[in-house]
Amino acid sequence: MSPDITFVAALMADQARSRMLLALLSGKALTATELALEADITAQTASSHLSKLVEGQLLVVRKQGRHKYFQLQSLEVAQLLESLLNLSSVLTHPKARTGPADPLLRKSRVCYDHLAGELGVGLYHSLLEQQLLAEHSDQVMLTKLGVDFFTALGVNLAELEKQKRPLCKACLDWSERRTHLAGALGQWVLQDILNKGWAVRDNDSRVLHFHLKGMASFCKRYRFRTSSEALTGSD
């Protein structure tokens, strides 16, 4: 028996629920009150919608003290949302440039728990060009060179592989219409960027703000240049 996609489609078809889901693409856990504000609905209405999304396994709820926080259930849900953003852009504005209008969102943003936008795509394709990653059919994996490279950076690949998710996963980028790196390794890269202070997350959006030195360090580590660097000729 084939899966019934109408169930998931019905959950996402409501405008308020879709706004809540898109707000959670940042990877942050949000309260019902915060999600009600995102969807521009009352707290009571939000509670009803959130119950349906949790029951439908699109969201998970976590309790911390007296508060409840909601998050996307999995990376697969995040990827479905990104794919729908791609498709809706093409269907509604076939000749328009896809993705967000905000240039900061296009440059670098968080997609659930990994780096997206121009920098995310640049990273992925740089790793391919250096033969640190290899694509096989619809899968992507580290090569021997890639294992050595990330091990030298201090990545505990054995621990990452214990997670209930792929080590490397290709995710279609909404704005670039090309692939960026997701999976456990994609999450590690984003967290490493934040831990090193190369960039900070925007409080009100998915934008990832890179400092100038942080941008230079990031590009040097992964050996690629952004479009702005290519234009200015900066190192």
Residue 231 pLDDT: 32
Q: What are phi and psi of 131, to 5 degrees?
A: 60, 35
In 3-state terms, the chain is what percent helix, strand and coil (to 5)? 50, 20, 30
Is the pLDDT reported for residue 230 higher than 70?
no
Mean pLDDT, residues 155-160 taken together: 96
Residue 166 pLDDT: 93
Residue owning tokens 């995310």 = 120
pLDDT in tens, 191-223: 999 999 999 999 888 899 999 999 999 999 999
CA neighbours closer than 13 Å in the CB half-sphere of residue 74: 10
* pTM of this prediction exceeds 0.85: no
Domain range list for the chain: 5-73, 101-232
Alpha-carbon separation of residue 164 from 33, 74, 160 (angstroms): 31, 10, 9
Pairing, β 169-172 against β 139-142: unpaired
pLDDT in tens, 43-85: 999 999 999 999 999 999 999 888 899 999 988 898 899 888 8
CATH class held by domain 5-73? mainly alpha
Residue 227 pLDDT: 60
Is the pLDDT reported for residue 228 higher than 60?
no
Residue 27 pLDDT: 83
